[in-house]
Copies of this chain bind each other. A is one copy, B any other.
């Protein structure tokens, strides 16, 4: 098992930080490294806005519903879908950009943001830092847009914390995943395997909770139901629209 497989295989979200700083040269290396990840058509429709300012990070934590894992992180990086950059490039070629007014544009931006997020996290973790992906910035897109000074044709879609993990956080057990045969299929998808996988995983997660005395942990079905029975981030479609995006065609 090589270093990379080893790191990815033992990856976990880190929500407890020591309060030590992410070194400036490490942060720069993380960002430079992540920028090498691919983007659709090499359009580079992603920008990053990071902050090390503790007051700003606390403000973002509040916008995200008061999450201590954000408030106590050392660096917060917002991944911004950036069709402002590409619109200018298209203009330079004498044309007018249309892509952001389509489902294709919205999806390209979101997929590329996910790629960038993972690249940032893998780079940060290789330097010994801990991270957690933060989707909750989508609970307050208007405030995030204002805070980060984002122009039209951009959207703050997802973010990550970075900090120095506590020993306890590093040593926490790895949460199981759904059975591999219900996650990955050769040639064709199997609905039965997916459903059997959910049932097996539910049992496994309840056992995991018991084995590790994690009473506070919801089971897979409980947690998924608690989030997904609702549309918990209302106004996103409206905010996308007011930033100049449309989900059509």
Contacts and interface: CB of A to CB of B under 8 A. Distances in A.
30 contacts: A5-B126, A5-B127, A9-B33, A31-B183, A35-B183, A36-B177, A37-B118, A38-B132, A43-B223, A44-B220, A47-B185, A56-B187, A85-B182, A85-B194, A89-B198, A95-B229, A99-B228, A99-B230, A102-B234, A103-B233, A111-B135, A111-B157, A111-B158, A114-B117, A115-B115, A115-B118, A148-B189, A151-B189, A151-B191, A233-B249
Query: In the complex this chain forms, how many copies of it are found?
Result: 2
Contacts of A221: 89-90, 92-93
A189 B80 contact: yes
Interface string A18-38: 000000000001011111111
B183 A47 contact: yes
A69 B216 CA distance: 48
A111 B42 CA distance: 18
A172 interface: no
A47 B2 contact: no
Interface residues of A, number: 128
Interface in A139-177: 148-151, 154, 157-158, 174-175, 177
Given A114-B113, A135-B111, A123 B5 contact: yes
A183 B44 contact: yes
A4 to B, nearest CB: 4
B202 A138 contact: no
Nearest to A132: B38
Contacts of A50: 184-187
Given A49-B188, A187-B56, A223 B3 contact: no
